[in-house]
Each structure stands twice: as structure tokens, then as C-alpha cells.
Amino acid sequence: MNKTELIAEIAIKTGLSKKDAEKALAATVETITETLVKGDKVQLVGFGSFETKKREARMGRNPRTGEPTPIAATSTPVFKAGKALKDAVSK
């Protein structure tokens, strides 16, 4: 399912127009993104949680030359599925 199909499904299930469903989805994604940028966690009970994980700086290797290359520390977004979602998918 792509974004357009998701918006169409939201519109059908909520009775909103596609334009309003698109605004709602955009606002949701934007809010989750802003919250993660601040370093906070977004938890949707029954669905899952979005959070960031810090990755430490480390040494990697250039695959062409084999020489060591430093890799900087970063923060990476992570999604952890909730129990209800896991149960629904595993059926």
C-alpha cells in the first residue's frame, strides 16, 4: 500500500474527503517527526511506539580500498510494534 492508497482507505473508513484525509495523515506524520526530532517518544497503545536510538561513532571500512573510515554518531528512528499489532499480524 502506498501513500495514495492509504489516504483513500482513511477517507473511506472515516467519511472524510480525500483532501481532508491527506491533511490528517500529513499532520500525523509531521507531528511524529517533530516529536522524534526533539528526542521524545510517541506511543500509540495497541499499535506501537516510535522512538530514536543513538548509534555510537565507530570505525568502518571502505569496501573498495579496505582502508578504515570513521563513521560519525547518529540518531536513528525506530518503530517497535505493540502486542495488539503483533497478534493481529501473526493470525
Q: Spell out the domain ranges in the chain.
A: 1-37, 41-91
How far apart are the C-alpha atoms of 51 and 43, rounded to whole Å? 8
**Stronger pLDDT, 26 or 91, i.e. the higher one:** 26
pLDDT at 91 over 90: no
Q: Is the pTM of this model over 0.75?
A: yes
pLDDT at 6: 97
Q: CATH number of 41-91: 3.30.460.80, 4.10.520.10, 3.40.1380.20, 3.90.226.30?
A: 4.10.520.10
What b/e readout covers 44-70, taking b as 16+ CB neighbours within 10 angstroms? eeeebebbbeeeeeeeeeeeeeeeeee
Mean pLDDT, to the nearest integer, of 26-37?
97
Q: In this predicted model, what pLDDT tens digit does every residue of 59-75 receive, in sequence order?
A: 999 999 999 999 999 99
